[in-house]
Structure formats: structure tokens, C-alpha cells
Chain A
Amino acid sequence: MTQSHRRPAGGRINRSAPIVFTFNGKSYGGFEGDTLASALFANGVKVVGRSFKYHRPRGILSAGAEEPNALVQLEFGPHTEPNMRATTTELYDGLNANSQNCWPSVDFDLGAWTGMLGRLFPAGFYYKTFMWPPKLWMFYERIIRNAAGMGKIPEVHDPDRYEQQHAHCDVLVVGGGPAGIAAALAAGRSGARVIFADEQAEWGGALLSGAPDIDGQPALDWVAGAMAELTAMAEVTVIGRTTVTGYFDYNYLTALQRVTDHLGPNQGGHRPRQRFWKIRARQVVLATGSIERPLVFVNNDRPGVMLAGAVRAYINRYGVLPGRDIVVFTNNDSAYRTAMDAFGAGARVYVCDARKNPSGPLVVAAKELGITIYPNTVVTGTKGKKAVTGVIVRELTDDGRGVGPKAWSIDCDCVAVSGGWNPTVHLHSQSRGKMRFDDTLAAFVPASGVAINPNRSVGACNGTMYATDCLDEGARAGAEAAAVAGFGDGKAPSMPQSAGLAEEPLLPLWTVPSATTVSRAGKAFHELQNDSTVADIHLAAREGYESVEHLKRYTTTGMGTDQGKTSNVNALAVMADLRGVSIPQVGTTTFRPPYTPLTFGAIGGRNVKEFFAQERGTPMHPWHVDNGVVFEDVGDWKRPFYYPRPGEDMHAAVMRECVAVRTSVGLLDASTLGKIDIQGPDAAEFLDRIYTNAWNKLGHGKARYGLMLNEQGFIFDDGVTTRLSDNHFHMTTTTGGAARVINWLEEWLQTEWPDLKVYCTSVTDQWAVASVSGPRSRELMAELTDIDLDPQTFTHMTMREGKVAGVDARLYRISFTGELGFEINVPASYGLHLWETIMRLGAKYDICPYGTEAMHVLRAEKGYVIVGQDTDGTVTPMDAGMDWIVSKKKGDFIGCRSFARSDTARGGRKQLVGLLCDDPSFVIPEGAHLVDAIKPKPPMKTIGHVTSSYMSPNLKRSIALGLVEDGFARMGESLSIALHGGGSCRAIVTDPVFLDKKGERLHG
């Protein structure tokens, strides 16, 4: 395994720790400290992927998080992850990566035909071409997605562990370059709590790519000293490999720490794979650096075309020479550092500088080394097939907007381009900070002004490019931030000097002019990840997509996983030129979190599987499980739905359970009902205002059914409430409404009636409730309790306290089935004991546990409503036929006034009625619409809908409830019901009470 492009010495890689890795099935060697990208360069691998749309071969553009091209599918099976940037993927032993967007292989890609037909695939092509017929879009989309694709997601559950960390600090410093280190030192020395985060494995930021001495010593020695000081500070938390991904209001920032990613799958030991930080910082210092802009020219996407700063990083940091013949193409001085370092590493170097007369100290220094420099010269095209083999260069015309006739070519295997540097303003922008366009840098920089979220940008992300200035600016900001947070005097500690050569101004160059028109020239890519070209921007402008937001969506510029880190400003500038306006007049798109992609695993943390959606079980839950229950999800609760016996389907089980309750005795777990303990001298008065009926005169030990309305007069919840003593009530609510009701009670008590002395406590979980129901329930209860069950005194809707199954209990005589019924409330911890005792003693009565479905059938037989099923938030008590529960005497209560509103008072409202289908064996689907006349197809005029519908084994026919316009006046009428998918049936409107209208069973 020869590393053909590895330099013999140098770089920050550990040459004593060799690593073997696999790329596209082939084995290669690298070193600890490499990224996948640097190791591929070391092995001379140029083509690492195919492009998204045209399937053109693509190489590595950058050396950092901005990489648009070199996206790989990392690892296999459950550990696989798509769209991983080779430039930020640290190399580990056994790493296995594959190219994306290519089939069957990266070297021979069938999809490349789209590139050959490129002229047929302009921006908006898919939308324009595959619009019609709409039915076929789903089909087209599948093919297109397969053809494009951005890697594959894993198909099995993520086996890795992720953690989350909530943290608070006085000063958060983002970015570990010179400005960030200076800020952290200044803030840390003040004693403030500091969190210092950087995305890289090593500290130093841009200094890692090569830097002049600091304080008379190698820059990275100074960095090591500073980091040692910071790490030793008790109040400073230093987290490397940590990308601050999002900046939210009130200085709330999120960060992804890659804890063990660099070790490879399953190598992290007890540590998590990643840790997601949620940081609340009093003050933030942003030192996020800058990202180099590529220059845009024809065929600028050929592998070997790279950012100049990246070439320098590979040479100095990774000990790799990306090319042996390097053409540096620049409009500024910074790329001369690359030229000199490449020259020093043994490459042949030519510089094409778009400026007429470059003559700064860096240029002079390069000249002195003997590097050939072509001023006023631009690269107008590249040569080569899978990788660049040469460039075509021309001179710029005097106005800089055209090129001269004379063209010559230079053979090369690497083109290092630099179009200037864009400050990394992403987090500043996310913090709602404004930006201004700096003409000297030809880039957007943070604008000063009132920041909604207190932060300071320092260093290159603030447009400050020299190390010395970055150190001073960072130290000032760190000290100020700490002082605002209450630490130190705000005076910046003095920082060492760095001896860098000064740079001369750049020449803005947004697109290299071509010898022919833009549409006839070859493809010049401003956006590499989404394959968007300058011609696409021209098309967008011609078709009127001029605003930056339209431009972005029409050309998909900046919409890839890199969010256009290298492409956005170039695109804006091209559009500005076409429109004849300045770049800031075109504006910028909004930077949105995350700065770099996040894993869902990190976002989810430990909140996965059973910790994501909690399940609530009653105290009797284990018995239900042991006895073959099928559960129904009601809110978070697992409620018994039905208990099938061997060979029974749901229908058979429910029918059997329904019959058992009406003929012998049934047992329901009613523990999930909401229960609220209400105490205080004004409790009865409060209930009078909350419920529609009167509570003041209710006797001790007496229970009453109550309806709660909202202020609009509509039914909101219902339940039975019992008076335990003068100032003490026990309220029950619907299972799903429990939280809503206690919130409702608290809201009224706290905000509208703070004068009422009432205290509400949720006791849902404190009581286990078993509901015994059926004609033989009293016989069974007599065996369970010593409470006097005499029907003359222990009447319907009363409560007694005593022992049941040997346990202190509240025994209610109430019923939701219409049968004689008892609800036994015991402390939750006795719930299972109670249930098992009832089942044991009930055996001789053939006791039948029943679930919610049988409960629904039984209550429907009696016409009892379920709030939320038979009502929908537009139903008044009168609409539900429950005028009897609305007090006319007690005065005001919530919702009362709305009864007099014209809409609630009008006739002909939808009213709750019974519906009997003409075919007694047909169960009308719930939700079916009653219509005034059946037509061959919709629309038909709806006059109501079916709310509840079941087969009733006790009535031996189907029954239904429904809300029907003017329903009470339609008793006996036959109405049509339209069925989903065509067809219809007819039903007779009846009273909703189908069984035991006199209530003899209930009161028996």
C-alpha cells in the first residue's frame, strides 16, 4: 500500500500509527490524524463521487465542513450513514466508505447520460416536464429519486447510544482558532464559567493549515500552551469535536459532540456515540472563521479543482501533496501562501492572478521563490476526463468583463482556486443578527447594532483576517463578555504578536468570463452539490425568479446538505450582475440551523422506544397481560379492549362480553378515569359555576352526574362527582380529558376566581377502580364487603366507605352500562389484589372481564353519550337531549350565557338521536353521512352523521347514534345514509335509549 502522494515528512499525522481502510471495496493505507479525504489524496484517489444531477465525476473540493462534493456512504448495515463529508470524517482502522450517486460504480456510471444530455436538464426541468398528468407524478418521482439519491438511510434500528447534556455558562466561545482561543483565555481568566467548543479534533482552527509564528514560537506550540492553560481552569469546559449547530432565542445554542465517531463503530466502550448539548449562555463569542469561495469557470467541477486554502491544509496539516503540477488561480493574495507552500513541498506551481498588477508582499515573496505568475489572467476551462489534466487560460479584457482572443493551456493535475473568503456568519445570522456587505472583502460580515441575543463575532467570521488582529479582537470580546456576565473588569489581557505578511485588496470576480455566451459555453458550476450552473441562474433571471428566495428554490442553490457554504454568495453576485443591482440589494437567504447535518439519534438522545412515547398501565395491568387481553391505546393509557378466548375474533369476544354483563356479572378496569380531589370551603360554589347542574344541596355520600361546558356553551367533559363532606368532593372525568379538566379548573380558579378557596389535586394514579356490573353484581359484592348493600338505602348514585376484599375502599353505586353496578375504589397499590379477589369470588357467577369495546356497546344500548365521540365541540346539552341536567334556577355557570346566542338558540341544530338501520344485520359505519337525497355521486347535501354504531347482541340487531339536523322533530322518519365508496342504506330516527327505557335494571 504505497501512499503515492504522501510527503516524506511533516504534517500533524501520526506516522507511527498506520491505518488500513476501504474505499469502494479497495484497501488503502493512511495514518492516525488523517481524514478520509486526506488519506484518499495520499493514495492518489481523485474521483470520490458522482454529482447529484448530471452524474459527473467529482473529487474533493475542500478540507472542512463546507465540502459539497466528497459525500460518502460510511459503513454498512445498522451503522451506515449517508452524506458523510470525507473532509471531516476522521480516519480509523477498518473504516469502510463508498461513493454515492453512482451505479454501477464511480468509474463507470450509467447515470452520466444525463450529463451528456445536459442541455435538456435545465433548472426547473423536473417541475416543468413531469407536471402532467398529475397521476403519474408519484411514478416519475420514484424514478427521479432513484436516479438522483443522496445515499441510503439505514434500514434497521440504530444500535448506537446517544446522550444529551443541558448546560449553562456565562460565556460560550464557538470556534477554536486564534480569535476563539484568545476569547476563551480572556473570559476564563476572569473566573467566568466558560464553555469552549470547536468542531475539529485539534485546536487551532486556520492555524492548523499553516501559520506564521506567534510570540516567536511555532503557532501551534502557542496553541498547545493556551489550551493547557484553559483545560486546567476549573470553570472552563473545553469540548472538541463539537459543532455548535444551532443558535436560538435567548442565547440557547445546540451543539453536537462526536464523542466516539472517530474510533469507528462499536469501539467507543461505555461512551456514547454522540452527545447533543443544549447550552444556555449569558454571552456568546462567535469565532467561527471563514470559508473560501471558489472561482466559477467552465468545467470547474473536474476532480483536481480545489480550494486554495484546502490545498494548503493538505500539504501542511496532513503531509499530502494533492498535485505535482499545481495551477493556483486567484483574485487575492491569500492563495500565494498556498503557492509558496506547494512550491516548498516540491510541486511545480503556476499562479494565474485575475488582478492587473499584483504586487503585495506575498506576491513579491512568491516571485522571489521563482514561482511563475501570470497577472491579469484567468482560467476559462479545464481539460481532462475523470480528473483535471490541464487548464485553458486567457487574459482579461480591460473592463474585466471579457477575455482576450489569445488562449493557452497549462498542464496540471491540481487547480487551487481562491475567490476570496466569506466570513462564517451562519450562527450570527441564526441569532437574528443583521449583516452588511463589506466591499473590501467582497463578502457579508456581521453588522453592528442591537443584537436580540447577546453575542460578539470575532476573528475571520467578523472579517478580521490577520492572526494578530484576531488574537486582540478575541481577547477584547472575551473580556467584555465576561464583564457583562459579571466577571472581571472587561479589560483585555495582552496577546502575543504574530508576524504575518499583509495582503493587498482582492478583485471581486464572481464568474470568469467565457469566450462565448454563457448558454453555449460548457457548464460552469457555482453550486456543486446540487449541480447548479451559472446558466441556471441566467435562466432563473429570464423567467422572473429574481428574488433571492425564488432563485434559491428554482435553481436549488444552497439547498444541499452543505447549505451552499461555498456557493451562495457567488450565486447572489451573478444574479446581482444580471439585474444590474448591488449584491446587498439582492439580499441573502436566511441561514437556518443546523450548521452541519445532525443525526436523528443525537436529537432523540435517550428518548427512544419506550422512553419516547410513555405508556401508562393501571395497577391491574399484569393481570390483563396474563389473561390474553388486547389493549386499546387511550391517550397514553393501555386500556383492555377485549379479552379474546381461544378461537374468538374481536367480534365474538365483544358479543360474549356484552351478553355476560346483561345476564350475569362483568368486571371492567375503570382505573384510567380521571380523578380530581376538590377541597375547600367554596368547593360546592365552584362546582356550581363549573357544571351545568346544582351542587350546593348535594348530601354527603351522594354522587351526581355533571356536564362541563366551555364558554361557548358546548359540552367539554362529563363525569360523576361525589360529595365526601361539606368541603370535600371527588370528581371523575373522561380518561382522555383528565389533564384537560384539571388545567381548566386551575385556570378558572387562578385567573378568574382567585377569591374562591378551592384546592384541586389530581388523584388519578392514587386510586384503582374496578367496576362490577350486571344483574348478579349485588350477590357478588355481598361476598366481597361488609358494607350494607340494601337497595332501599344504598341507592343508585350513592357512595359508602368500608372494606372491600379486606381493603379500605370507597364503594360507589353507579353504572355506565345501565345494569346494577358498583365501582370499587381502593388505593392503587391494592388494585391488583382487588381485581384478583373479585375474579376468584366471581367465578361461581361466571364473572366476565370486559373491555372498552363492550363498554361502548353497552352504554350505546342505553343511549349514554361519550364526550368527544357523540359530541364534537359544537354540541350543547340541549343538542344532546340533556336539557334535564341544565339548571334553570342556580344562576350563571360557564357556558350558560351562550345558550341565548342566536346560533345556539336557533331551531334545526344537529341533535343527538338513535338510528336503526332498515337492515338489522348491517352496522352503519361510524362517520357515515346522512343526506337529504342519495345521488349517483357526491356532492350530496349532508344533514348529519353517525357518531356511534355497533352490533348489539342484547337487542339482536345493529344500533347507532347520530347527530342529525332537527333530529328531535324527525322521530320515526326514514333517512338516507351515503356510504363511503358508493352505496347507501336507510335508517329510522328513534329515541337514543334502545334498552330498558325505564331504568329498571339500573335501579334494581
Chain B
Amino acid sequence: MLLINCPWCGERDQTEFSCGGEAHITRPLDPDAVSDKAWGDYIFFRGNPKGWHYERWMHAHGCRRWFNALRHTVSDRFVATYKPGEPKPPLPEEDG
């Protein structure tokens, strides 16, 4: 079971969290101004990488706050968790 470092609460068991999928997807500021394709990309399309993945988590059975994380989808290693609005940490050079 993963051990996840909630940026507000600290390390907690995975069972306290829910995963919200890919992070850093921005809702178009003026939805009417974007094409159907761009809107379709926003609502339907997500990456599914084997490797490092920026993703959203929510401390559902804790502080109930959202945060972002950088996790490796094979090793399940987290290299960073950070609050919404904080900049993306850089991708680690090594794999896993």
C-alpha cells in the first residue's frame, strides 16, 4: 500500500486518498472560443504513460484537500507532492 505525503497533513496510507487522474489540465478560460476538437481534448483525452506521471490526488479521508503529485506508474515511487498552483517539479532524470 502506497504511503502518500499529503502536503497539508504529512505521510498517510493510500486508503485515505483518492486519485483524480492526470494533473495540470487547464479548463479553457473561454470555452466558446475553442474549437470542438480542443474542447474534446479537454474533456475526453488523458495521457496514460508508462513512467513518470503528474497526477491529482485528494486526501478524501483526511483534510479533504486536493494536491498534485509526480509518481512513476511502474515503480509507484512518488518524487514529489505539491499544492495546487505550485509549479510542476521537473521530471527526474532516472527512470523508476
Which A residues fall within an 8 A CB radius of B?
248-252, 280, 432, 452, 711-712, 743, 746-747, 750-752, 754, 892, 896-898, 900-902
CB-CB contacts below 8 Å: B1-53 with A:
1-3, 13, 20, 27-28, 30-32, 34, 36, 39-40, 42-43
Query: Do A754 and B1 touch (CB < 8 A)?
Result: no
B39 in contact with A901 (CB, 8 Å): yes
Is the beta-carbon distance between B27 and A898 smaller than 8 angstroms? no
Q: How far apart sit A520 and B71, CA to CA, in the bound complex (Å)?
A: 56
Closest beta carbon of chain A to B78's beta carbon, Å:
9
Find out whether the CB atom of A897 lies under 8 angstroms from the CB atom of B39: yes
When distances are taken between beta carbons in the complex, the residues of chain B under 8 Å from A896 are 31
CA distance A711 to B45 in the complex (A): 13
A750 adjacent to B84 (CB under 8 Å) = yes
How far does the alpha carbon of A102 sit from the alpha carbon of B66 in the complex, in Å?
58
**Chain A positions within 8 Å of B27 at CB level:** 752
Min distance, Cβ A876 to any Cβ of chain B, angstroms = 14
Q: Is the CB of B56 within 8 A of A892?
A: no
Asked if A750 contacts B66 (CB within 8 A), the reply is yes
Which residues of A are found within 8 Å of B3, using beta-carbon distances?
249-252, 280
B77 within 8 A of A: yes
Between-chain CB contacts (< 8 Å), 22 pairs: A249-B2, A249-B76, A250-B1, A250-B3, A250-B76, A251-B3, A252-B1, A280-B13, A452-B75, A452-B96, A711-B43, A743-B58, A747-B20, A750-B65, A750-B84, A751-B56, A751-B66, A751-B84, A892-B30, A892-B31, A898-B43, A900-B32
A898 to B76, CA, bound (A): 35
Enumerate chain A residues within 8 angstroms of B34, measured Cβ to Cβ: 897
Complex: A251 Cα to B76 Cα, angstroms: 12
**B residues apposed to A, CB below 8 Å:** 1-3, 13, 20, 27-28, 30-32, 34, 36, 39-40, 42-43, 56, 58, 60, 64-66, 75-77, 84-85, 96
Contact call B64/A754, Cβ cutoff below 8 A: no
Contacts of A747 in B (CB 8 A): 20, 58, 66
Q: How far is the CB of A246 from chain B (nearest CB, A)?
A: 10
Q: How far is the CB of A85 from chain B (nearest CB, A)?
A: 28
Q: How far is the CB of B94 from chain A (nearest CB, A)?
A: 10
Which B residues are in CB contact (< 8 Å) with A712?
43
Can you name the residue of chain B whose Cβ is closest to the Cβ of A897?
Answer: B31
CB of B82 to closest CB in A, whole Å: 13
Shortest Cβ gap from B20 to chain A (Å): 7
Q: Are B1 and A901 in contact (CB under 8 A)?
A: no
Contacts of A750 in B (CB 8 A): 65-66, 84
Neighbouring A residues of B1 by C-beta, 8 Å: 248-250, 252
If A252-B1, A743-B58, A747-B66 are given as contacts, then 14 extra A-B residue pairs at C-beta distance below 8 Å, sorted by A number, are: A249-B3, A250-B2, A252-B13, A452-B75, A452-B76, A711-B42, A743-B60, A746-B64, A747-B20, A747-B58, A750-B65, A892-B32, A897-B31, A901-B39
List chain A residues, Cβ under 8 A from B64: 746
Report B-chain residues with C-beta under 8 Å of the C-beta of A249. Answer: 1-3, 76
Question: Within the assembled complex, what's the spacing in Å between the Cα atoms of A252 and B4?
Answer: 12
CA distance A751 to B27 in the complex (A): 10
CB distance from A67 to the nearest CB of B (A): 30
Task: List A contacts of B75 (CB < 8 A).
Answer: 432, 452
CB distance from A161 to the nearest CB of B (A): 23
Summarize A's interface: helix, strand, loop or mixed.
mixed
List, in ascending order, chain A residues with CB within 8 A of B84's CB.
Answer: 750-751, 754
**Does the CB pair B77–A452 fall under 8 Å?**
yes
Please report the C-alpha to C-alpha distance between residue A711 and residue B13 in the assembled complex, in whole angstroms. Answer: 31
> Smallest Cβ distance from B50 to chain A, in angstroms?
16
The interface centre, meaning the residue of B28, B31, B58, B76 with most chain A CB atoms within 10 A of its CB, is B31
A745 to B12, CA, bound (A): 24
A902 to B40, CA, bound (A): 11
* Min CB–CB distance B92 → chain A (angstroms): 13
Of A251, A711, A901, the contact of B36 (CB 8 Å cutoff): A901
- A751: chain B residues at CB < 8 Å are 56, 66, 84
A residues near B76, Cβ cutoff 8 Å: 249-250, 452
Q: Which residues of A contact B40 (CB under 8 A)?
A: 901
**Shortest Cβ-Cβ A-B pairs, 10 listed:** A897-B31, A250-B3, A252-B1, A750-B66, A711-B43, A751-B66, A248-B1, A249-B76, A452-B75, A751-B84
| Residue ID in chain A nearest B40 by CB atoms | A901
* A897 CA / B40 CA spacing, docked (Å): 10
Min CB distance A164 to B, Å, is: 13
Contacts of B2 in A (CB 8 A): 249-250
**Chain B neighbourhood of A902, CB < 8 A:** 36
**CB-CB < 8 A to A898: which residues of B?**
39, 43
Q: For the complex, give the distance between the alpha carbons of A21 and B96 in Å.
A: 55
| B20, B39, B43, B58: most-surrounded residue (chain A CB, <10 A) | B43
Determine the distance from Cα of A902 to Cα of B39 in the docked complex, in whole angstroms: 12
Q: Which residues of B contact A746 (CB under 8 A)?
A: 64, 66
Kindly state the separation between the CA atoms of A897 and B60 in the bound complex, as whole angstroms: 29
Question: Nearest CB to that of B77 among chain A residues?
Answer: A452
Q: How far is the CA of A743 from the CA of B84 in the complex (A)?
A: 16
Q: Least Cβ distance of A629 to chain B in Å?
A: 32
Complex interface: chain A residues within 8 A of B13 (CB)? 252, 280
Q: Tell me, in angstroms, the Cα distance from A750 to B39 when the chains sit together.
A: 22
User: For the complex, what is the distance from the CA of A432 to the CA of B38, rounded to whole Å?
Assistant: 41
Q: Measured between C-beta atoms, what is the minimum distance from B2 to chain A in Å?
A: 6
Q: Which residues of A contact B28 (CB under 8 A)?
A: 897
Q: In the assembly, what is the distance between CA of A452 and CA of B39, in Å?
A: 39
Contacts of A897 in B (CB 8 A): 28, 31-32, 34, 39
A900→B56 CA distance, assembly (Å): 29
Q: How far is the CA of A901 from the CA of B32 in the complex (A)?
A: 11
Smallest CB gap from B44: residue in A? A712
Question: Please, how many angstroms separate the alpha-carbon atoms of A819 and B19 in the complex?
Answer: 44
CB distance from B29 to the nearest CB of A (A): 9
Distance, CA A452 to CA B76, complexed state (A): 9
